[in-house]
């Protein structure tokens, strides 16, 4: 049985944007996009129109913010994924749309859009390995690293909540396809996400697993679910757990894996 290991799953190095990603771990900071008919919103150095514009947040850019206070001007932290520049400043509350507050249709469209782009970038990376063009290869690596950290990883938390509340099998297939295209990645967040999806709705995830035609792809998804389960339940590899929920899920996964084996 193949198992993923945190220390050995590296074929290319992802550049973790520590400040940006750490904000997502704080409960009061939420993933957001702009709500502006102009397609962009000015970021100012202080709380008011009198402060200078230091950057712009464009449609589709992600940022984190805290809307719990009653301030009209909200501090945001964003990453411009094309160049990896971090932006800190203030935008007006009226221009902020929390991603988790989008309706289900808009959430699904956004999730699919980002997973599709991640898959395309991952395929471009794999194709660049077959060429002798070092510049093209370096460009595809940088694009994939930044997009993975700044767009793909943050949307997976939204995907988890969306799937657990809607049982949308289409999104699970999109995630499977993206993980397969991005199979050389060192990013562990997709594994944690699919492991959590399995914890939430194991029968639905297994139902979608059975639809996969490729044995290699199916094995990769099994391995990622197992890795996600172990990490989400804080169970070390090859160690037993007293957690009944983990043991129940692990047994269900192992039985399905055996049935899927030739």
Spell out the alpha helix ranges (H) of 4-133: 18-23, 104-128
Q: Tell whether the model's pLDDT for residue 25 goes beyond 90.
A: no
Neighbours of 130 (CB within 10 A): 8
Give the list of residues 6+ apart from residue 36 with CB closer than 8 angstroms, or none: 59, 95
Name the pTM for this structure: 0.87
Task: Note whether 127 and 187 are within 8 A (CB).
Answer: no
Domains and CATH numbers, the chain: 18-100 (2.30.30.40), 102-260 (no CATH)
For residue range 167-197, what is the model confidence (pLDDT) as tens digits? 999 999 999 999 999 998 889 999 999 999 9
Average pLDDT, the chain: 87
**% residues pLDDT > 90 (the chain):** 70
Give 17's pLDDT tier (boundaries 50, 70, 90): very low
pLDDT for 11 equals 37
For residue range 60-94, what is the model confidence (pLDDT) as tens digits? 899 999 998 889 999 999 877 566 678 899 999 99
pLDDT for 249 equals 97
pLDDT for 81 equals 59
The DSSP H or E segment spanning 31 is: strand 30-34
For residue range 94-124, what is the model confidence (pLDDT) as tens digits? 999 999 999 999 999 999 999 999 999 999 9
């Amino acid at each position: 049985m193949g198992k993923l290991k945190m220390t050995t799953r590296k074929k290319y190095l992802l550049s973790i944007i520590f400040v940006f990603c750490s904000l997502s771990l704080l409960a009061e900071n939420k993933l957001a996009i702009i709500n502006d008919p102009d397609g962009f919103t000015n970021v100012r150095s202080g709380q008011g129109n009198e402060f200078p514009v230091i950057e712009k947040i464009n449609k589709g850019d992600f940022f984190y913010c805290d809307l719990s206070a009653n301030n009209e001007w909200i501090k945001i932290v964003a990453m411009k994924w094309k160049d990896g520049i971090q932006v800190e400043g203030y935008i007006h509350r009226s221009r902020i749309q929390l991603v988790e507050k989008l309706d289900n249709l808009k959430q699904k469209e956004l999730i699919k859009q980002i997973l599709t782009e991640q898959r395309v970038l991952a395929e471009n990376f794999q194709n660049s390995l077959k060429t002798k063009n070092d510049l093209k290869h370096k460009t595809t690596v940088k694009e994939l690293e930044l997009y993975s950290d700044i767009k793909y990883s943050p949307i997976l938390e939204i995907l988890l909540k969306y799937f657990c509340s809607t049982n949308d099998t289409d999104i699970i297939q999109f995630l499977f396809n993206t993980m397969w295209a991005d199979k050389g990645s060192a990013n562990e967040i997709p594994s944690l996400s699919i492991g959590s999806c399995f914890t939430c709705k194991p029968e639905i995830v297994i139902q979608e697993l059975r639809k996969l035609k490729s044995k290699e792809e199916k094995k990769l998804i099994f391995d990622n679910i197992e890795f996600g389960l172990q990490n989400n339940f804080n169970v070390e590899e090859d160690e037993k757990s007293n957690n009944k929920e983990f043991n129940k899920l692990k047994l269900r996964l192992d039985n399905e894996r055996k049935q899927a084996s030739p």
